[in-house]
């Protein structure tokens, strides 16, 4: 999914979203890959994975923060 086509619930975070992958047909929800410099503190990864966009938005709001790991600052 292109960033310009983000649903309204995710547009607030467009600047930190690199890519959105819709894996619902495989029963695996949505995967949101973050731009370098941000991480999900809940999973300690550079992505958000949930079944709905609403759940993704909640995770972006509550658990994503700037990251200074070697992958992000390289």
Domain count, the chain: 1
**Segments forming the whole domain that contains residue 32:** 3-68
Q: Does the structure show a pLDDT above 90 at 36?
A: yes
Q: Does the structure show a pLDDT above 70 at 1?
A: no
If DSSP states are collapsed to H, E and C, what string results for the chain?
Answer: CCHHHCCCCCHHHHHHEEEEEECHHHCCCEEEEECCCEEECCCCECEEEECCHHHHHHHHHHHEEECCCHHHHC
Q: Please tell me the predicted confidence (pLDDT) of residue 54.
A: 94
Q: Please tell me the predicted confidence (pLDDT) of residue 53.
A: 94
Whether residue 29 lies inside any domain: the answer is: yes
> What is the average pLDDT score of the chain?
92
pTM of the predicted protein model: 0.90
């Amino acid at each position: 999914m292109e960033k310009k086509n983000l649903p309204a619930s995710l547009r607030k975070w467009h600047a930190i979203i690199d890519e959105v992958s819709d894996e619902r047909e495989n029963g695996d929800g949505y995967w949101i890959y973050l731009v370098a410099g941000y991480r999900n503190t809940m999973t300690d990864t550079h992505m958000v994975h949930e079944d709905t966009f609403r759940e993704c938005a909640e995770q972006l709001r509550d658990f994503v923060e700037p990251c200074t790991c070697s992958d992000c600052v390289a």
